Amino acid sequence: MSGTVSQLPVAIAGTGSYVPERVLTNADLEIMVETSDEWITTRTGIKERRIAAEDEFTSHMAAKASRKALEQAEMDASELQLIIVATITPNTLTPATACYLQHDLGAHRAVAFDISAACSGFLYAMKLAERLISDGAFENALILGAEKLSAFVNWDDRSTCVLFGDGAGAAILKRAEEGEGKILATDIGTDGGQTDLLNIPGGGSACPITIENADQRLATLAMVGGDVFKQAVTRMRDSANSVIERSGLKPEDIKLLIPHQANLRIIEAITKRIEIPQERVFVNLHKYGNTSAAACAIALDEAHRADKFGRGDHIVLVAFGAGLTWAAAAIRW
């Protein structure tokens, strides 16, 4: 599903991110499961990831990222009209993590809800918020990708536990003023025929956790890594190309590509196919691993604060995740 230039242009007024203090390195994982720094580094590019404290929930990390974004946008939480949290690791199945966040921030006027689109969730939220603002339904929105994946990882399964980490990223969207940047084009897509490639099989209505199945750890991430890898490359290539073309841009116009941070080999494969040189691609997965919906959001904030792009520059975000889902956005900053 594609969206081109909005009637009312929508800009990103501020970004923020937060990662927990505790660092889990590849060397730490070597003690926990049969793996090696060499295997993890060559297969994924990941060196370490952050792990939230036991009493640090998804909404707490989201609140910390949100406060930074609000500060940068020079906005008070009471001005927010809409909050969308993209997460697959909510505080509770219900109510939505966005409700806890709304209360924590004191954003009393904001309508708040969650969306579940795995690693593509932040860009799904961006598209939704951009449309709702551009249609005039809301003046502004706080969107987040926030995950406590460490609570849904089987720490005895070496094929998945080395990949994931915790964190949150936020962005404030608002109607663009004259001369400000804007979201140029967005793209989201889903293939529900491949739900078996990447999922958390237990803990939902299809397979509640019971005393009988409790020892099978069904409420943890399961993945057919190789198949996901191939799908990730083609879907992200196509989604990124779609927003680049519809924005009237060429690869050489892109100041920075911010791809989903799952695997360095996937990133290298898609950037070759989009024909963007590696030095114009933002990578931070070596520090955080795959933080699912939070990955693009944290990367956007880090790149922004590191002045990797500025006013007038064109950037492209692209993501892929369970569902299968994929999404991209082209933005003039």
- Residue 219 has what DSSP assignment? T
Q: Which is nearer to ligand ACO, 35 or 194 (CB)?
A: 35
Contacts of 156 (CB under 8 A, 6+ apart): 33, 217
Q: What DSSP string runs through 24-87?
A: EEHHHHHHHSS--HHHHHHHH---EEEE--TT--HHHHHHHHHHHHHHHHT--GGG--EEEEE-
Nearest-approach distance from CB 272 to ligand ACO, in angstroms: 16
Catalytic annotation, pick one of 26, 91, 140, 290: 290
Nearest-approach distance from CB 271 to ligand ACO, in angstroms: 15
Q: Is 260 a catalytic residue?
A: yes
Q: At what angle do helices 58-73 and 97-105 cross, to 10 degrees?
A: 50
Q: Which is nearer to ligand ACO, 254 or 295 (CB)?
A: 295
Q: Is 119 a catalytic residue?
A: yes
Q: Which is nearer to ligand ACO, 198 or 257 (CB)?
A: 198
What distances in angstroms separate CA 262 from CA 51, 63, 181, one per listed residue? 16, 24, 28
Catalytic annotation, pick one of 119, 263, 284, 314: 119
Nearest-approach distance from CB 246 to ligand ACO, in angstroms: 25
CB 17 within 8 A of CB 169: yes
CB 44 within 8 A of CB 232: no
Catalytic annotation, pick one of 260, 263, 284, 314: 260
Q: Which residues bind ligand ACO (CB under 6 A)?
A: 35, 39-40, 43-44, 118-119, 158-159, 162, 198, 225-226, 228-229, 232, 262-263, 266, 290, 292, 320-322
Q: Which is nearer to ligand ACO, 58 or 247 (CB)?
A: 58
Q: Which is nearer to ligand ACO, 81 or 116 (CB)?
A: 116
Q: At what angle do helices 37-44 and 264-274 cross, to 10 degrees?
A: 20
Q: What DSSP string runs through 92-160?
A: SSSS-HHHHHHHHHT-TT-EEEEE--GGGHHHHHHHHHHHHHHTTS-SEEEEEEEEEGGGG--TT-HHH
Nearest-approach distance from CB 131 to ligand ACO, in angstroms: 23
Q: Which is nearer to ligand ACO, 16 or 259 (CB)?
A: 259
Nearest-approach distance from CB 332 to ligand ACO, in angstroms: 28
Nearest-approach distance from CB 90 to ligand ACO, in angstroms: 14
Tell me the catalytic residues: 119, 260, 290
